[in-house]
Amino acid sequence: MQNLPDNVITFLNQNALKDYNIEWQSKKGISNVIVIPAIAEYDNIKVLIALLSQNDFTYFTSSLVLFVINNSLSSNTEVTADNLKSLNLLYSIIDSNSNDGFAAEIIRSGLQVGLIDASSNGRELNTKHSGVGLARKIGMDLALTVFDYSTETNKLIICLDADCKVPPNYLTRVITDFNKNNYSVAIINYEHKIDGNDINSAAIICYEIYLRYYVVGLEYAESLYAFDTIGSTIVCDHNAYIKAGGMNKRKAAEDFYFLEKLSKNFKIGKINSTTVFPSNRSSWRVPFGTGQRVTRFIANIRNEYLLLNPSVFEILKDWLMIYNSDEFIDPQILLNRSNEIHAELYNFLLLNNYTAQWKKILSNTKSDKQLQHQKKIWFDGFKTLKLIHHLRDTAFPEVNMFDALDSFFIKLGINILINRNGKAIPEIDIQKEYLYILRNLS
């Protein structure tokens, strides 16, 4: 850990797992590390490396593409065999010694590749904690050890997934836009590929509408937590990563909780000049998220064409207007005003012990700046989600997806009437029209 800043050394001593290390051709000048957890992703790894190698080579000398090849002790032989193929491919690129045509082409491109072996015998992830959160954490923690801190450039940790695709301007735009805008944290624009009109396309359209509608709803309500939480789109600098306490070990939703921690101290920027294309496949790799939702849609387990009633965002908007006001309002008075907005908002605050907790917070708050920060911490992204679910479960059941969107677009002043031909669930081409509007809004 020589030549590392004190805060990096302290963080690694307190947080990093000691059993793993990065294998790469160590070089100076690294300012950007793209961390990619991968389990049984040999074919996708080849595709992603090829796409990254088509990026501007001038960024290759300052960037490391770091794969975390992982599985648990309980993973089956099919997974471990696929991971072994990935390890062999990556080792051949790292060692710059391969007769394989693909590896030789990547070597010639100059793309710098590294790996963390969390797959081989004795290196597997603990079964209890194994998953994307832990794999991402290992890679992000160890990324701190390869940066060249002698330079003044930002040290960026860029998250990506092995089954994603990226365009040729990916590195250029992520690195340039992040630094130009002086971001500490940012998310990159994303779009799921929609290749046809089959059931898989229908599933991913439905899911992306669900994701984007929630974020646009939060934006409408002027929530401080109105941003997408997709792991493969997150970028942060090393100081922000350390201040947030690093990535967590969650098997899923690691991205949501990580961004929530970051957002309590930093504004979340947005990089719209390039796009990450997450996979639209069904998957067993996480208990929820894109893969699980696609699987559930195809299995027809429940009606997927449902969205939150737009009224929940109206209530959230009215609540945040008074809650986030610069004007000091006594907690009891604010609680009473919440009842005027809606009884279930009032009930939610009671269930969350609002008055007592805020009296305690106020007794320990010495300035207006501290007060505003405490407001942001107390009513965070998770509590926002809990309120929305409470309103959904007690007063505003979910409604037909396209009815919700028609109603919400009117609230937003969007004067676009999409002809559904009287159908509750229109054809896929019509569903795409709704999705494209949401993409332009978020």
Q: What is the pLDDT of residue 284?
A: 42
Single-letter amino acid code for the residue at 190: Y
The verdict on 361 and 407 lying in the same domain is: no
| Boundary of a domain, candidates 299, 323, 347 | 299
Q: What is the pLDDT of residue 226?
A: 96
Model confidence over 10-59: pLDDT tens digits? 999 999 888 899 999 999 999 999 999 999 999 999 999 999 999 999 99
Q: Is 407 exposed, middle or buried (0-12, 13-18, 19+ CB in 10 A)?
A: middle
Among 85, 89, 111, smallest CA distance to 100 is for: 89
Q: What is the pLDDT of residue 357?
A: 93
The verdict on 11 and 98 lying in the same domain is: yes
The verdict on 234 and 182 lying in the same domain is: yes
Distance CA 268, CA 260 (A): 10
The verdict on 126 and 250 lying in the same domain is: yes
Domain membership flag for residue 97: yes
Contact 144, 15 (CB under 8 A): no
The verdict on 368 and 422 lying in the same domain is: no
Q: What is the CATH number of the domain that holds 267?
A: 3.90.550.10
The verdict on 290 and 320 lying in the same domain is: no
The verdict on 228 and 121 lying in the same domain is: yes
Domain membership flag for residue 306: no
Domain membership flag for residue 304: no
Q: What is the pLDDT of residue 285?
A: 45
Model confidence over 221-243: pLDDT tens digits? 999 999 999 999 999 999 999 99
Q: Give 87's strand partners.
A: none
Single-letter amino acid code for the residue at 254: E
The verdict on 327 and 410 lying in the same domain is: no
Distance CA 441, CA 84 (A): 43
Instruction: Please report, for residues 75, 78, 126, 127, the alpha-carbon distance to residue 72 in angstroms, rounded to integers and kept in the order given.
Output: 5, 13, 6, 5
Contact 204, 212 (CB under 8 A): no
The verdict on 74 and 200 lying in the same domain is: yes
Q: What is the pLDDT of residue 111?
A: 98
Q: What is the pLDDT of residue 368?
A: 85
* Segments of the chain scoring below 70 in pLDDT: 1-2, 281-291
Domain membership flag for residue 333: yes
Distance CA 336, CA 189 (A): 40
367-374: long-range contacts (C-beta < 8 A, 24 or more apart)? 368/326, 371/328, 372/324, 372/326, 373/264
For the chain, the domain total comes to: 3
CA atoms within 13 A on the CB side of 385: 13
Domain membership flag for residue 1: no
Q: How many residues does the chain have?
A: 442
Domain membership flag for residue 258: yes
3-state secondary structure the chain: CCCCCHHHHHHHHHHCCCCCCCECCCCCCCCEEEEEEECCCHHHHHHHHHHHHCCCHHHHHHEEEEEEEECECCCCHHHHHHHHHHHHHHHHHHCCCCCCHHHHHHHHHCCCEEEEEECCCCCCECCCCCCHHHHHHHHHHHHCCCCCCCCCCCCEEEECCCCCECCCCHHHHHHHHHHHCCCCEEEEEECCCCCCCCHHHHHHHHHHHHHHHHHHHHHHCCCCCCCCCCHHHEEEEHHHHHHCCCCCCCCCCHHHHHHHHHHCCCCEEEEEEEEEECCCCCCCCCCCCHHHHHHHHHHCCCCCCEECCCHHHHHHHHHHHHHCCCCCCCHHHHHHHHHHHCHHHHHHHHHCCHHHHHHHHHHCCCCHHHHHHHHHHHCCHHHHHHHHHHHHHHCCCCEEHHHHHHHHHHHCCCCCCCCCCCCCCCCHHHHHHHHHHHHHHC
Domain membership flag for residue 186: yes
Domain assignment of residue 216, given as a range: 6-299
- Enter the tokens of residue 404: 């919700």
Q: What global pTM score does this model have?
A: 0.94
The verdict on 353 and 366 lying in the same domain is: yes
Distance CA 164, CA 290 (A): 12
Q: What is the pLDDT of residue 1?
A: 43
The verdict on 173 and 281 lying in the same domain is: yes
At 147, give phi and psi (nearest 5°).
Answer: -65, 145
Name the residue with tokens 């500490």. Answer: 184
| Boundary of a domain, candidates 299, 326, 358 | 299
| Boundary of a domain, candidates 279, 299, 319 | 299
Q: Is 170 exposed, middle or buried (0-12, 13-18, 19+ CB in 10 A)?
A: buried
The verdict on 315 and 248 lying in the same domain is: no
Domain membership flag for residue 433: yes
